[in-house]
Amino acid sequence: MTPRRGAPLGGRDGVRRVPGDQSSILRRGGEGPPLRIWIERPEGCGPSQPQRSNGSTVRPSGARFRRVSATPQILADPAPAPGELLVVGFDGFEADSTLLDFLVRESIGGVILFRRNVRDAAQVARLTRALREAAPGLLIGIDEEGGRVRRLSSDFTTFPSMDLLGKIGSDDLARELGGAIARELRAAGVNWDFAPVLDVHSNPANPIIGSRAISSDPAVVARLGVAFIDGLQAGGVAGCGKHFPGHGDTSLDSHVALPVVNASRELLEERELVPFRAAARGSLASVMTAHVRYPALDAERTATLSPAILGDLLRRDLGFEGVVVTDDLEMRAVADHASPEELAVASIEAGADVMLACKSRDVQDRVLAGMRSALESGRIAAARLAASVARVRNLRARFPIEAAEIDPDRARTEAGSSRALVARIEQRAQRMLV
């Protein structure tokens, strides 16, 4: 199979050191042959090492390091492809040849797993290993928030809803919970969790957020959300703060309609933006956009399609440098108002890096067609595509998993290993209510 997945693009003086949760990678940028890549790993240790909030690797005290050559796919540096900006869903417990051919042919950046893909821990590990054997470097994501939004089967730990963290208020428990989720996900071959919810629960009539939110206090959401992210990402799984710039004050579900938040800019700054600002200052790997309209920020466009919100506010004002991913483009809040082709192009123009298309292959094909057409016409510049592809490749380099690391027996052992932690969290929350 032709190598297809590149390392992060070159940096200053032609060489860039990429911080990773397990490795330091040197690569030559620009023209010419790639510099040989070596990955430093502590002897006897697995691939995932804790990571500081600044992105550097924490080396265990007294550990001896050995050099391990990188896979041939990392050495390849293909031209940026539109498919690298797409994360797709699919049906079934196995990766059939049609899916694998699509992933490789289109250089698809990632897949997202749902309940329809999960039977048990060993099966998920076999599935993710097959995906990674066909498409090395693939990002594999999942919505594992805890509480009512979970995709894993019953043999995995049933993690608590985020509002329990808010009731307890412990940074240490939030960090520990993030690490526990990462351990079970990573053993099953998953390296991107679309969590935590950083929305402030400010509207009791909200039909979609509720207990998914940590708290109605912006400062508590910010503090515990950052701690959760630190634990998750130290465990080798990318976090994703959602739903920017805040879904907590809506009264409609964006899966079925377009919500509007009529709060003033000042109120949004004081409430919704506080957790996202804190996470952007930290190590947060990615942010998911909200299919919600905020007239005080953009009178016409939803956040997903708004340069004022994703470009001016998120990138410039908050200083976020990670990956920006849309919520599912098949949700009716946006799908009822524009074609998949136009949604794809408009979201990139707004500042998104990755698009989610969670079910329909037809929609996925149309998203790719829209991007190709926009590149050919010049509506999207090649440099704009390259900038987003570079961020996606950096995300892969920061949270890598190789197919050979995934063991169904280990996944089965790790699944459910965090139940004692969950019991401790639930007992502490109960004591606080007495």
Catalytic annotation, residues: 327
Task: State the SS3 of the chain.
Answer: CCCCCCCCCCCHHHEEEEECCCCEEEEECCCCCCCCCEEEEECCCCCCCCECCCCCECCCCCCCEEEEECCHHHHCCCCCCHHHHEEECCCCCCCCHHHHHHHHHCCCCEEEECHHHCCCHHHHHHHHHHHHHHCCCCEEEECCCECCECCCCCCCCCCCCHHHHHHHCCHHHHHHHHHHHHHHHHHCCCCEECCCECCCCCCCCCCCCHHHCCCCCHHHHHHHHHHHHHHHHHCCCECEEEEECCCCCCCCCCCCCCCECCCCHHHHHHCCHHHHHHHHHCCCCEEEECCCECCCCCCCCEHHHCHHHHHHHHHHHCCCCCEEEEEECCCHHHHCCCCHHHHHHHHHHHCCCEEEECCCHHHHHHHHHHHHHHHHHCCCCHHHHHHHHHHHHHHHHHCCCCHHHCCHHHHHHHCCCCHHHHHHHHHHHHHHHC
Helix axis angle, 121-134 to 97-105, nearest 10°: 40
HSE (CB half, 13 Å, CA atoms) of 354? 32
Q: How far is CA 142 from CA 42, 145, 354, in A?
A: 29, 9, 15
Pairing of strands 192-193, 139-142: parallel
User: Quick check: 261 and 209 in contact, CB under 8 A?
Assistant: no
Residue identified by tokens 């990462």 is: 182
